[in-house]
Amino acid sequence: MRNRSLSNEGLSLYLDGTIQTRPKKWYRNLICNLFHSDYDDRLFDVVHKSRASTKALCAEFENPLLSQMLDSAICNTVRLILSNKNDYRFFLDVMQKALQTNDHTTAHLLYIVLTNEALNKIKKPKRTISELDKVKGKYGSPTYKKHIDFWRTVRSDDILPSVIAFNNFYKRRIFMMRFYEAKEAAQNMEIFKYLEHDKNDILPVYVLKEKTSN
């Protein structure tokens, strides 16, 4: 049995202090109690809420603060793991599940976090390299053209793009004055404004500012 789930700070940043309601029928509760741990519940909740957050972030593509929001999520998560080193394994699991469920923003963000040099000295699970290798090269850093080309083939609302990849691709194309490609990328993201989403679903990890001391 895994004793640790997610740190208290992690709960506030990724779960906003809420927990999914478990099934009410007694026999379904029995099955959950037999096969689900607190760790599994937290993992499910973070993956679920991260996916909803991705939908809302996609709809915010034109927000001038988007880059800062993405940077904030990366920095906040790195700091979170540095202060609670056992959370590394948890976020490795979240990355894996996000990739399996085609939430590319969460998978991409956590790959950047988990490969950050600041976390090099943390003791990591043996499967870390194999899990990171599944994501490595998937988005085509630093140009991210690979992910944009992949997105042209997507025909399902169940697949969510990497906002990180699209944001960086868009800014690069504007800088290079390749405006047609930038416009095409923005139009692909504009679709998410009209798909079901809730701006309030954006996780606090994207918007919380770094604490400053007086």
Peptide bond into 142 cis (omega under 30): yes
Q: How confident is the model at residue 213 (pLDDT cuts 50, 70, 90)?
A: very low
Question: In this structure, is residue 181 part of a structural domain?
Answer: yes
The answer for residues whose C-beta is within 8 angstroms of residue 102's C-beta and 6 or more apart is: 158, 159, 160
Q: Is the dihedral of CA 107, 108, 110, 116 positive or negative?
A: positive
User: Which residue in the block uniquely carries the two structure tokens 């416009």?
Assistant: 183
Question: In this structure, is residue 130 part of a structural domain?
Answer: yes
What is the percentage of the chain residues whose pLDDT exceeds 70?
84
Question: In this structure, is residue 194 part of a structural domain?
Answer: yes
Q: Give the count of domains, the chain.
A: 1
Q: What CATH number is attached to the domain comprising 101?
A: 1.10.840
- Provide the H-helix boundaries in the chain: 8-10, 26-35, 38-59, 66-83, 87-100, 104-114, 128-135, 145-151, 163-175, 179-190
Question: In this structure, is residue 178 part of a structural domain?
Answer: yes
Q: How confident is the model at residue 128 (pLDDT cuts 50, 70, 90)?
A: very high
Mean pLDDT over the full length of the chain: 87
Q: What's the whole-model pTM score? A: 0.86
Higher-scoring residue by pLDDT: 83, 1: 83
What pLDDT, on the 0 to 100 scale, is given for residue 4? 58
> pLDDT digits over 183-204, tens only?
999 999 999 999 999 999 999 9
Question: In this structure, is residue 28 part of a structural domain?
Answer: yes
Q: How confident is the model at residue 86 (pLDDT cuts 50, 70, 90)?
A: confident
Q: Are 24 and 30 in contact (CB under 8 A)?
A: no
Owning domain of residue 19: 8-206
Higher-scoring residue by pLDDT: 17, 99: 99
Q: Are 57 and 206 in contact (CB under 8 A)?
A: yes
Residue 71 CA to its chain's centroid (Å): 12
Question: In this structure, is residue 3 part of a structural domain?
Answer: no
Q: Residues 102-107: what's their mean pLDDT? A: 98
Question: In this structure, is residue 90 part of a structural domain?
Answer: yes
